[in-house]
Structure 1
C-alpha cells in the first residue's frame, strides 16, 4: 500500500459536525488549510459550527439515515470541492440507555439507522470518488463500546461493533489501492451525546434522572473534543487503521485482548471506585 498522504490542504467531509468531536474535527482541519464540507441534522448547531471555520466551507443539513440524501450530498461536495478529497469522516451518532428486557424496538431501530446505516450510507456515497482518484481515507467512528460489551448499551454496542466489522472488511477490500479505511474508537469524550440520548427510565433501576446519568458520564469522560480531534487527525495522517482516542480507550482495548470474557469485572470495579 502507498504511503499515507497528509490531509493538509485537501478537502475533508465531516458528518455530525454540529457539536462534539465532529465540530472539533471540522475546526481543526479548517485551521490546517482543508476546505471542509460539514453536515448534521441540527441546523442551528451547524450554522454555529460553520462560523468557527476559517477557510472554504460547504454546509449541508443532512439526515444520514437517508441514503439518497447522502448520495446527493456527495455529488454536491464533488462539484464544490476546491481541492482533492482527503478524508470522509462518518461521525454522526446517537445513544440510548436501556436494558435488553426493557428496550423499545423503535428506539433501537433509530440508533442503528444513524450509528450503523448512516456510516454505510456515507461510505457508499463517497467511496466511488475516492476510488476514482485512488487516494484518500474513509474514517468511521466506532467506540470503545465497539471493543467490549457494556450492560444497558446493547443497541449502541451492536451498532459500534457493526461499524468496526464493516470498516475492517472494507479495509481488506481496499488492499492494493491508494484508498484507506480507518476505525476510530473514542473512550469517554466530553460531548453532549449522553444528554441527547434517549432514556425512558434509569436502566440500572437506581432512580436516577436523565440529567444525573449525563452528569455521571461527564464525570468520567477524560478527553475533550479538541484533544480527540487532534488524535484522529494525526492518526489519519499516519495511515493508522485503528485509532484509539483517550487513555481509557487504550485500557479497554488491552482488557478486551487480555481478558476477553472477564474484562467487565475489571471495568465495573473501576467504575465503582470512581463513584
Structure 2
C-alpha cells in the first residue's frame, strides 16, 4: 500500500499515545478513520483532532477483549465507509509482576487486551480487508516481544504471542496470494501513558529494590525515547513498503541486535544489570 489517500483505516487504542498519533498521521495523509478506545474522554479528543484535519472519522468506545463487540465494530466500519483497507491493532496495557506470583486475574486481563484483542481485531477485519482488494493488518507487539525482562513475564508472554501470531499470519496470506499485507511492530520506549496506567504487583518490588512510586517514575522515564508522532510515521513508512517487521526507536534497534547476536546469552547481561540497579536503589 503506497498511498493512504481515500483509504479507510481502523485504529484501536486511539485515545492516546501511538494510537492517537497513527490516527492523526493517517488523517494528514488523506485517510478516512474509524477509531476506538475504552476511554471515552481520550477517544473524543482524538476524534476532534482528526476532524479538525478535515478527515472523515467515526469514534466507537470499545473493549478489544470483547470479541463480539470487536466483530460488530468491524461490520459497522464496513457498513459506514463501504470498505476497510487497514486495521491497526494497537490497544495495549502493562502489568509488572513476577512469573511465580502474578495473579491469574491480572494475567487474564492483560492477555485479553494485548493478545486476544489482536486476534479479535485481525479475524474481525480480515474478511473486509480481503474484499477491499488492497488491505493491510498492523499488529503492535513490543521490543519485549523480542527480549524478555524480569518482572515482565506476563507482558512478555503477550507480546511474544503477538509476534508469533502475526508472523504466521503473514506467511499464510503470502502462500495463498491474498491481497493483504501484514506488519508486526516492535516499539521500544515511546512516550505514552502506559507506564502510568500499568498494574504493579507490590510483591515484585523486592526484585527491584524500589517502592511503587519510584518504580513507576523510573519506568516512565525509561520510555521517553521516541515521541508518538515519530513512532506513527515510522510505522506508516513500514506499511507503505509492506515491511514484515518495524522497529520503532533506537532502543528497539539495539535490543533486536543484542538478541540476534547473543541469543539466550543476553539474559545474563540483563540479570547483571538488574542486580546493579537493585543495589543502587536500596539505601
TM-score (norm: length of structure 1): 0.93
Question: Which residue pairs with 1:97 in the alignment?
Answer: 96
Is 2:254 the counterpart of 1:251? yes
Structure 1, unmatched stretches of 5+, are none
Provide the C-alpha distance between the structure 2 equivalents of 1:227 and 1:268, rounded to a whole number of angstroms: 31
Provide the C-alpha distance between the structure 2 equivalents of 1:49 and 1:89, rounded to a whole number of angstroms: 15
Q: Per the alignment, do residues 263 and 63 of structure 1 end up closer, same or farther by CA in structure 2, a change over 3 Å counting?
A: same
TM-score (norm: length of structure 2): 0.90
Provide the C-alpha distance between the structure 2 equivalents of 1:234 and 1:104, rounded to a whole number of angstroms: 39
Structure 2, unmatched stretches of 5+, are none
Shift of 1:139: 0.3
Question: Which residue pairs with 2:70 in the alignment?
Answer: 70
Q: Per the alignment, do residues 204 and 57 of structure 1 end up closer, same or farther by CA in structure 2, a change over 3 Å counting?
A: same
Work out whether residues 182 and 241 of structure 1, in 8 Å CA contact, stay in contact via their aligned partners in 2: yes
Question: Which residue pairs with 2:244 in the alignment?
Answer: 241
Per-residue CA deviations over 1:77-135 (Å, capped at 9, x if unaligned) read 001116x5331000000010011122101000100011000000001100001112232
Q: Which runs of 4+ in 1 moved over 4 A?
A: 267-275
Per-residue CA deviations over 1:177-220 (Å, capped at 9, x if unaligned) read 22011100000111111110111216241453433222212322
Equivalent residues, number: 271
Question: Which residue pairs with 1:191 in the alignment?
Answer: 192
Provide the C-alpha distance between the structure 1 equivalents of 2:238 and 2:5, rounded to a whole number of angstroms: 13
RMSD, aligned CA:
1.9
Question: Which residue pairs with 1:14 in the alignment?
Answer: 11
Question: Which residue pairs with 1:56 in the alignment?
Answer: 56
Provide the C-alpha distance between the structure 1 equivalents of 2:215 and 2:17, rounded to a whole number of angstroms: 18
Q: Per the alignment, do residues 268 and 250 of structure 1 end up closer, same or farther by CA in structure 2, a change over 3 Å counting?
A: farther
Per-residue CA deviations over 1:199-244 (Å, capped at 9, x if unaligned) read 1216241453433222212322201111111100111111111010
